[in-house]
């Protein structure tokens, strides 16, 4: 096992069970040091990104309502002059190729993708297509167990698609915004 910084070792000892700790540290190392292909042809090595916000809590207007939606994005970072949302996943999947990841995201995380992309653009002050094209790179889901050979799902929605998502979220009943694992009711897709 590679030597880790004392602060990393202390965090791992505090937060990770001894069983599986080495594997989790390997995932973290790979996730932060491997080059990740992003939408639009940009490649990023996460530890080298200057603009890198972790565990970004947000409180954003609930689309079209007086209520607010609270959540947390794992990472918002900048590469190649554009901002990207990144979410870590530890799912055990039968494989980590593009088809399996697309199906997994569509079945389990699609609403999350929509919320994160629209919220990130709102956070970044993106209000029109020119600023969108200039500033937003897309969304990346890193399935840690699939690294280094696979495990990366990315998407850069068009401006029109992002606007359509905003309309979908506005029309979505409030109880559907809360996923079942957070106490919400099961939802149909």
Checking if the pLDDT of 136 tops 50, the result is yes
SS3 letters across the chain: CCCCCHHHHHHHHHHCCCCCHHHHHHHHHHHHHCEEECHHHCEEEHHHCCCEEEEEEEEEECCCCCCEEEEEEEEEEEECCEEEEEEEECCCCCCCCHHHHHHHHHHHHHHHHHHHHHHHHHHCCCCCHHHHHHHEEEEEEEEHHHCCCCCEEEECCCHHHHHHHHHHHHHCCHHHCCCHHHCCCCCCC
Query: Are 102 and 153 a contacting pair, CB within 8 Å?
Result: yes
| pLDDT tens digits for range 20-35 | 677 777 888 888 888 9
Tokens encoding 181 = 């694992």
Give pLDDT, residue 187: 44
Residue 102 above 90 pLDDT? yes
Q: Of 178, 161, 160, 58, which Cα lies nearest the Cα of 119?
A: 58
Is 151:143 a contact under the CB 8 Å cutoff? yes
Domains of the chain, start order:
34-182 (3.90.320.10)
Mean pLDDT (whole number) for 56-61? 84
pLDDT digits over 73-89, tens only?
999 999 999 999 999 99
In the structure encoding, which two tokens stand for residue 25, read together? Answer: 């540290």
What burial letters (b/e) apply to 125-159, b meaning 16+ CB within 10 Å? Answer: ebeeeeebeebbbbbbbbbbebbeebbbbbebbeb
What pLDDT band is residue 91 in, cutting at 50, 70 and 90? very high
Q: Which of 4-8, 61-65, 67-71 is the most confident on average?
A: 67-71
pLDDT at 1: 41
CA 9 to the chain's CA centroid: 25
Q: Which residues are catalytic?
A: 87
Share of the chain above pLDDT 70, in %: 81
CB 133 within 8 A of CB 121: no
Q: How confident is the model at residue 3 (pLDDT cuts 50, 70, 90)?
A: low
CB 92 within 8 A of CB 86: no
């Amino acid at each position: 096992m590679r030597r880790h910084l004392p602060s990393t070792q202390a965090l791992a000892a505090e937060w990770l069970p001894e069983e599986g700790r080495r594997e989790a540290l390997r995932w973290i190392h790979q996730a932060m040091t491997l080059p990740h292909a992003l939408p639009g042809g940009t490649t990023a090595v996460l530890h080298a990104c200057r603009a890198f916000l972790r565990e970004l809590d947000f409180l954003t207007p609930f689309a079209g309502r007086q209520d607010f939606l609270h959540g947390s994005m794992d990472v918002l970072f900048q590469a190649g002059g554009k901002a990207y949302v990144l979410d870590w996943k530890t799912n055990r999947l039968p494989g980590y190729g593009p088809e399996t990841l697309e199906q997994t995201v569509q079945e389990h995380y699609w609403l999350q993708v929509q919320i994160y992309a629209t919220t990130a653009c709102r956070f970044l002050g993106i209000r029109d297509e020119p600023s969108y094209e200039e500033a937003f790179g897309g969304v990346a889901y890193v399935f840690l167990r699939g690294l280094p050979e696979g495990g990366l799902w990315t998407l850069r929605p068009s401006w029109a698609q992002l606007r359509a998502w905003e309309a979908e979220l506005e029309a979505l009943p409030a109880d559907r915004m809360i996923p079942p694992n957070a106490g919400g009711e099961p939802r149909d897709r």
